[in-house]
Amino acid sequence: MTASVLAAGVLEDTIRAFFQGLPIGAGFALVAMSFVLTYKTSGVFNLAFGAQAFISAATYFELHVRRDWPIWSAVLVAVVLVAPLLGLLLERLIFRHVHASSAVAKLVISLGLLVALPELFKLIVDYNREQPFGAVGIIPDGTTIYRLFGRYPVTRDEIAAFVIVVAAAVALAALFRYTRLGLRIRAVVQSPRMTELNGVNADWVSSGSWMLSSFFAGLAGVLLVPTTSSLGTVLEPTGYFPIVISALAAAALGRLVSLPAAMFGGLLLGVVTTQMRTHVPRDNVILAELQGPALPYVMLFAIIVFWPAIRRQVAGADPLLGVSPPPPALAATSRSKGMTIYTRIMALAFFTAVGIWTFGYANNFWISRITHSVIFSIIFLSIVVFTGLGGQIALCQVTFAAIGAFGAMQFAQRWDISVIVGMLAGAAIAAAVGAVLSIPVMRLGGIWLAIATLAFALFFHDVLVKYSWVGGSLFHGRGVPRPEFLGVDFSSRENFLILCVAILVLVGVLVILIRESSTGMALRALRGSETAAESIGVISWRSRVIVFSVSAGIAAIGGGLLAMEERLVGYEANFDPQTGLFWLVIVVVLGTRTVEGGIQAGVAFVIFPELVLHRWLGLDGAWRFVLFGFAAISFARHPEGLLEHGKRRSQAMMQRMFARRQPAMATAGAPAGAGPTTEAEAETGDEP
């Protein structure tokens, strides 16, 4: 054995890894170009591509495998027909109507769709059928192996993926360069409102690009099935997450606006992936992890945080962005005294009734459901803190909740320490992780913050949970006892519910105190205008670290309680990142700005599917994903949440009725006309 033989071996490995990397990268490139296309034309950062890819792949499976259609016709329907049609529908029915909204609002809508679309598809196509969609490729005999230059093996699937992607990229490049549509798309990207002022109808531009990008997503959805290990043998929308994340990393290399950069970025990341698998030694645990599931998340996170182009993009924004109307004040702040007392009496009566029923009449099932809703209310208050007070979207609250749950478990199992202490320690760890995480990502804000936190959540899910110091060992199981402290045993259902309610009250009060504190004021100022806030001495990073770690701590407390309630850490059922997306969607839909909003979301999350969907309507519980997912569309118009919006409307209505009874008083102090003054008008109407 000489050095030259060894070197030749390394060279051969490198070349083989290169040829294996290209098709994988081609898949990334395809999805990355879809991202760029929709982002360019409608400003939508469409995380729902995973869902769209899933729908095409599942349609193909339904037609080809279950209904025995020939391959070509199944592909034709799934990719050429269904995918662009879906894109067109999404654009026509949803995104066209929100294209002047903020990027974050659009991101929330796409999250809702990511949750809703696959579930809706499964409900419609797969109704009453339990067996899952299988992962089947579209290339006949796709696993046939060819040898490039006589020695480097590639499968037919891989060759097909690469050729199709390159063809698509060339066609796209031609479209952008040589057509009027391409020129308009580029204009629309810069500032949709400015472009409209220049007389360009942005609508048909975005229709076309949505159909095209959805077609790409569908194509990727079916093409990537055989080459993607995360998809396994069962087709699930979550299986597309690693691809979507890698594609995001590729798209981020071109700041989401450069198609060539997205394509080359995708190919590059594909090659980097396989090269790392080939060359990085496997004996180091961290390095071994990096070759596998962790790589896409680490890449995305690193690119978002360190890529200078993104930092520059964060600095520059649409010049007309500031024209958006601000969120209106909370309904409660403009409520008259009479209304406030009335509302409080009603709330007290309601909670007393629920309490009497729970402790007097409810069976174990309902006590457990109510405990769950209290716990989820606590968890959702962390979203109230982060999104309602901080004004940002984070997709890793589920991870913090899991940290709290695992904290309680680890402390109880390893050191036999009280679960309450374990839960608090978990909360402290989550707060620390949140603080550390906040430093690189909070500066980004907006969609980049959301994506970086999603990358973190997926990293935790795919990598960290497997370690015994995080997720526990198979040997010990994930059991968690109920607590016993201050001489009280909380192991009975009723006692534990009381404990949870007490903690909910404490956390709720904490959230209100923070909202009213100087820190809360600083956060409101930062939301209004960051530069102005700094000019009055707000330390922006400090406020952000606080909001991130407080929110992480609250989520962890809720997660710990959930584990105690269920007597084990039900990680897969409760703390999956996909579940986390649904958490965000449901809280954002119902109201992020008040403590009530969080509690209502907690109740809706637990009770609504059980009571309304299942018992009253006899529907599948999965409809909740569809309902709340689509309800996320309302976020664009009512960022304060549907319940807050409803509250404001009913309050305005009731106060108008009051005002009518006392017409002289009502008109005395009220300024003339105008919508925004109705609340002031109503307020004067109720004074004696």
Partner 1 sequence: MSLLVADGITKRFAGITALQDVSIALEEGERVGLIGPNGAGKTTLFNCLLGLLRPDAGSVGFDGQDITRLPVYRRTRLGIGRTFQRVELFSGSSVRDHLLFAHRIRSGTGALWKDVLGLGLPKPAEIERCDALLESLGLGGMGDEPIEALSLGQSRLVEVARALMTQPRVVLLDEPSSGLDRAETDALAETLARIQSEQGFGLLLVEHDVELVASFTERTYVLDFGRLITSGDTPEVMRDPEVRAAYLGDFMAGAQ
β-strand partners of 358: none
Question: Is 317 a binder of partner 1 (CB under 8 A)?
Answer: no
Dist. CA 681–CA 662, nearest whole Å? 12
Residue 228, burial from CB neighbour count under 10 angstroms (0-12, 13-18, 19+): middle
349 binds partner 1 (CB under 8 A): no
Contacts of partner 1 in 110-169 (CB under 8 A): none
Q: Does 675 bind partner 1 (CB under 8 A)?
A: no
* Structural contact between residues 208 and 84, judged by C-beta atoms closer than 8 angstroms: no
Of residues 290 and 510, the one with the C-beta less far from partner 1: 510
Choice from 9, 327, 477, 621 touching partner 1 (CB under 8 A)? 327
State the nearest-atom distance from the C-beta of 633 to partner 1, in Å: 22
Which of the stretches 184-192, 273-281, 366-374, 513-521 binds partner 1 when contact is defined by CB under 8 A?
513-521
645 forms part of the interface with partner 1 (CB under 8 A): no
670 binds partner 1 (CB under 8 A): no
| Min dist. Cβ of residue 391 to partner 1 (A) | 10
**By the rule CB under 8 A, 520 interacts with partner 1:** yes
Residue 611 or 680: which CB sits closer to partner 1?
680
Q: Does 516 bind partner 1 (CB under 8 A)?
A: yes
CB of 322 to partner 1, least distance (A): 8
**Nearest partner of 497 among 659, 369, 615, judged by Cα:** 369
Query: The tokens 């005002």 sit on which residue?
Result: 659
Q: According to the binding rule CB under 8 A, does residue 472 interact with partner 1?
A: no
Which residues, other chains included, contact 92 with Cβ-Cβ below 8 Å and sequence gap of 6+? Answer: 207
Nearer to partner 1, 94 or 522 (CB): 522
Q: Does 103 bind partner 1 (CB under 8 A)?
A: no
**Tokens found for residue 587:** 């809280």
Give the one residue of 155, 519, 578, 592 binding partner 1; rule: CB under 8 A: 519
Binding residues with partner 1: total (CB under 8 A): 33
Is the CB of 70 or the CB of 327 nearer to partner 1? 327
Closest among 680, 430, 416 to 554, alpha carbons compared = 430
CB of 536 to partner 1, least distance (A): 4
676 near partner 1 (CB under 8 A): yes
CB 347 within 8 A of CB 550: no
Is residue 353 packed enough to be buried (19+ CB in 10 Å), middle (13-18) or exposed (0-12)?
Answer: exposed
Is residue 528 a contact residue for partner 1 (CB under 8 A)? yes
Binding partner 1 (rule: CB under 8 A), the pick from 179, 201, 473, 529 is 529
- Measured CA to CA, the distance from residue 556 to residue 429 in angstroms comes to 9
What CA–CA distance (Å, rounded) separates 537 from 532?
A: 9
Closer to partner 1 by CB, 525 or 569: give it: 525
Give the distance, in angstroms, between the CA of residue 657 and the centroid of all CA atoms in the same chain: 41
Reading the block at residue 623, the tokens are 């409809």
Instruction: Please report how close the Cβ of residue 678 comes to partner 1 at its closest, in angstroms.
Output: 13
Strands (E), 321-468: none
Question: What are the two backbone dihedrals, phi and then psi, of residue 155, each rounded to the nearest 5 degrees?
Answer: -90, 165
**Site membership for partner 1, residue 328 (CB under 8 A):** yes
Least CB distance from residue 112 to partner 1, whole Å? 24
Q: Which of 73, 144, 229, 517: binder of partner 1 (CB under 8 A)?
A: 517
Asked if 532 is part of the footprint of partner 1 (rule: CB under 8 A), the reply reads yes
Cα(33)–Cα(57) distance, integer angstroms: 19
Q: Is 524 in the site for partner 1 (CB under 8 A)?
A: yes
Binding to partner 1 by residue 326, rule CB under 8 A?
yes
489, β-bridge pairs = 484
Provide the minimum distance between the beta carbon of 312 and partner 1 in the complex, in angstroms, as a whole number. Answer: 12
| Residue carrying structure tokens 């664009």 | 636
Between the CA of residue 123 and those of 56, 119, 141, 572, what are the distances in Å? Answer: 15, 6, 31, 22
Look up residue 126 and give its DSSP letter. S
Q: Based on CB atoms, which residue is closest to partner 1, 468 or 518?
A: 518
Sole binder of partner 1 in the list 22, 139, 522, 556 (CB under 8 A): 522
Q: Give the integer Cα–Cα distance in Å for 114 and 345.
A: 40
At closest approach, how far in Å is the CB of 672 from partner 1? 13
Phi and psi torsions of 131, nearest 5°: -75, 140
What's the token pair of residue 585? Answer: 């969607």
Task: Mark 536-555 with x for binding to partner 1 (rule: CB under 8 A) and - for no binding.
Answer: xxxxx-----x---------
Question: ∠488-493-498 over CA atoms, to 5°?
Answer: 60
DSSP annotation string for 200-244: --HHHHHHHHHHHHHHHHHHHHHHTTTT-GGGTTB--GGGGHHHH
Which of these ranges, 18-26, 145-153, 380-388, 526-534, lies near partner 1 under the rule CB under 8 A? Answer: 526-534
| Residue with Cβ nearer partner 1 (300 or 526) | 526
Contact segment (CB under 8 A) with partner 1 among 162-170, 361-369, 377-385, 532-540 equals 532-540
Binding-site ranges for partner 1 (CB under 8 A): 325-329, 510, 513-514, 516-522, 524-525, 527-529, 531-540, 546, 676, 680
